[in-house]
Amino acid sequence: MKGISQKSYFYRVAEMTPTEFWINTALQEDLEYYLAQGAMGNTSNPTHIPIALSNDKNIWYPVIDGILKSNFELSNDEVASLVLQKITLRSLSMFEPLYKKSKGKYGYVAIQGNPFTNEDLELVIKEAEIFSKLGENVAVKIQSTESGIKAVEYLTSQGINTICTKGFSVAQGIAMAEAYERGLDKTDAAPACYVVNIAGILDDYLNEKIMELGMNIDSRYIRHAGVSMNRKLYKIFKKNNYRARLMFGGSRQPYHFTDLVGGDVAITISPSQAKPLINENPPVVKRIDVETPSNILNMLEEIPDFCKAYYEYELCPSEFKDFGPCVKFQKACEEGYKKTLNEIESRRKIVSL
């Protein structure tokens, strides 16, 4: 894109470290801009789709109307899936040159389906198999839950790229990485797998929790919670030589990116946090191996849910989906999906006139 400096912040991150910058959006303008700024992949979730539908009406309303005019009997859920696939196909085509140039190392695009069915193993697998046919560089999002463990193992064995989303604990990250290992042992294929751990939403949840519990903990300490969890998981991945690639996400502040730079990881960041880094263009500093000061860690350990996130033996797979920040994120995805269904229903009424 004209006027883009090849030495902007994210380009320098790529030159100086193995850290990948992924942009977290479904908006056309954002995708064009951040791809030009050095984005190596694209993630989105059900909260992003209704934003794309309302902001890019000129693109997506005709798509929805066309589907309804041809197949008015389809349910809103079925239409939503077809629209999601169209949105993903657009992103896949934009990132395909990067995927081809890097011989499959970069250029992946995430797709995440109906959040209300993401614990139904049979439906998850069926949906993933459909999504996987959209393009070589598509990666299907699977929940980091007990059913998601089974799904990732199976989908990996079938050569399908996955992104293990809704991860808010070291225990979840380990479980999903080991599921991928088992899947690889059943195939000669080498599908990609990214294991996500989300710092920003964990921080938000812990701030809410200390207020709810009336705990006398300065919220400035919480700023270190998600970052500390991610750094610990990174060490475990290196020690265990897991073949899945670690992905950090859920940025709420630019430090959710800058404090994790330097590792062989992908980091997703929203436009609201990426733009300040582009404007400021700060030095690239490798911080992934920085140790959390013991006094801060000791304070964080007073919060039971931080311990569940930070210590690998505090949660078992049957507890993953009911872990507080997982529930918080699930509700957000469900609300986003409902907005998509509402958009489709509005177009259905117009088309039927």
Give the residue numbers marked as catalytic: 141
CB-CB contact of 135 with 96 (8 Å): yes
Burial 132-156 (b: 16+ CB within 10 A, else e): bebbebbbbbbbbbbbbbbbbbbbb
Angstrom distance (rounded) from CA 19 to CA 185: 27
Query: 182-210 burial string, b = 16+ CB within 10 Å, else e?
Result: ebbeeeeeebbbbbbbbbbbbbbbbeebb
Q: Torsions phi, psi of 284, nearest 5?
A: -85, 115
Q: How far apart are CA 225 and CA 297, in angstroms?
A: 8
Distance CA 138, CA 126 (A): 15
Q: Could you please report the per-residue DSSP string of 41-110?
A: EEE--TTTHHHHHHHTHHHHHHHHHHHHHH-TTS-HHHHHHHHHHHHHHHHHHHHHHHHHHTTTSS-EEE
Measured between alpha carbons, how far is 197 from 257 in angstroms, rounded to an integer?
A: 13
DSSP letters for 119-159: T-HHHHHHHHHHHGGG-TTEEEEEESSHHHHHHHHHHHHTT
Q: CB atoms < 10 A from the CB of 78, how many?
A: 14
Query: What does the block give as tokens for 172?
Result: 């979840």
Residues 249 and 233 sit within 8 Å (Cβ to Cβ): no
Task: Specify the DSSP class assigned to residue 317.
Answer: G
Tokens 């140790």 found at: 291
352 burial type by CB count under 10 A (0-12 exposed, 13-18 middle, 19+ buried): exposed
